[in-house]
Amino acid sequence: MSIDGLSELWGRLFGAQPDPPALLVLVTGLVALGVVLTRVPWRIGRNAITIAHEGGHALVALLTGRRLQGIRLHSDTSGLTVSAGKPTGPGMVLTLLAGYLAPSLIGLAGAWLLGGNRITLLLWVAVALLLAMLVMIRNVYGIVSIVVTTAVVLGVSWKASPQVQAAFAYTGVWFLLLGGVRPVGEMQTQRRRGQLSQSDADQLAWLTGVPGLVWVGFFGVVNLIVLLAGAALLAGPILNGVSLPG
C-alpha cells in the first residue's frame, strides 16, 4: 500500500465523523429498547449479548493469568467459557464477575468513542475483538455466529455511507447498554425457579461466601449506573440541539 493509501486509511480510521442528527440518536435508542423489550427480536439480538458476556469472561481470565481453553456459543443464546487455573482466589472471582458486566461496559466504551464521533474506529475495534474471539471458539454454532457478526460489522464499516454507519453504531451501542440489564433479571428469575443452580452469581457465592442474591443485585446496580452514564454520553447531540432560554 502506498504512503497516500496508508494516510487515507489512517484518516478514515481515526478521523472524527460529523455530529449525528439528534433524531438519529433518539430513534436508534428507541429501536434498541424495542428489541430488548420484545420477545422474538430479543431472542435474536441476545446472541450479541452472549458474545459480549463470554468475551468478558475470556478477556479477564487471560488478564488474571488463567489459561483460556475455549468458548462455546449455543443456539439457545447460552454460552460457556472454559479456563484452567486455580479454582479459587481473585482470578476466578474476577473472571466470573466479568460476564454479566461485560456487555454494559463494552457499551459504555462504545458510547465514549461515539461521544468523540469515532464511528469508524468503533466498528473496526469491534471487528478486531470479534476476530480475536473467533480463535477460541470451539463449536460450529459459535463459529457461525462470530463469522456472521464480523461480516456484518465489517461490511457496514467498509461499504456503508456515514449515515448508515452512524445508525448502525448507535443502535449497537444502545443495545449493549440496554441489553446488559435484562439478562440479570432473567438470571434471577431462573434462580428463583430452581432452573439455574450454577449461575455466575451462585458460583461467586460459593467462592466468596456472599449470598448469590447480593451478586445479582451488584450486577443489576452496576449495569444500571453504566446505562445512565452511557446514555449521557450518547445524548450529547440531543443536548447540543436544545437551546437554553436567555
Alpha-carbon span 176 to 182, nearest angstrom? 10
Among residues 133, 135, 132, 107, the alpha carbon closest in space to that of 122 is found at 107
Among residues 32, 138, 27, the alpha carbon closest in space to that of 79 is found at 138
pLDDT tens digits along 20-77: 899 999 999 999 999 999 999 999 999 999 999 999 999 999 999 999 999 999 999 9
Residue 153 and residue 130 in contact, taking contact as beta carbons nearer than 8 Å:
yes
139: enclosing H helix or E strand: none
What does the CA dihedral 237, 175, 137, 155 come to, rounded to 10 degrees? -50
pTM over 0.75: yes
Look-up: residue for cell 451462585?
Answer: 202
pLDDT tens digits along 93-105: 999 999 999 999 9
Query: What is the torsional sign of CA 78, 84, 85, 86?
Result: positive
**Which grid cell is 235?**
445524548
pLDDT tens digits along 117-170: 899 899 999 999 999 999 999 999 999 999 999 999 999 998 899 899 999 999
What is the residue extent of each domain of the chain?
A: 21-236
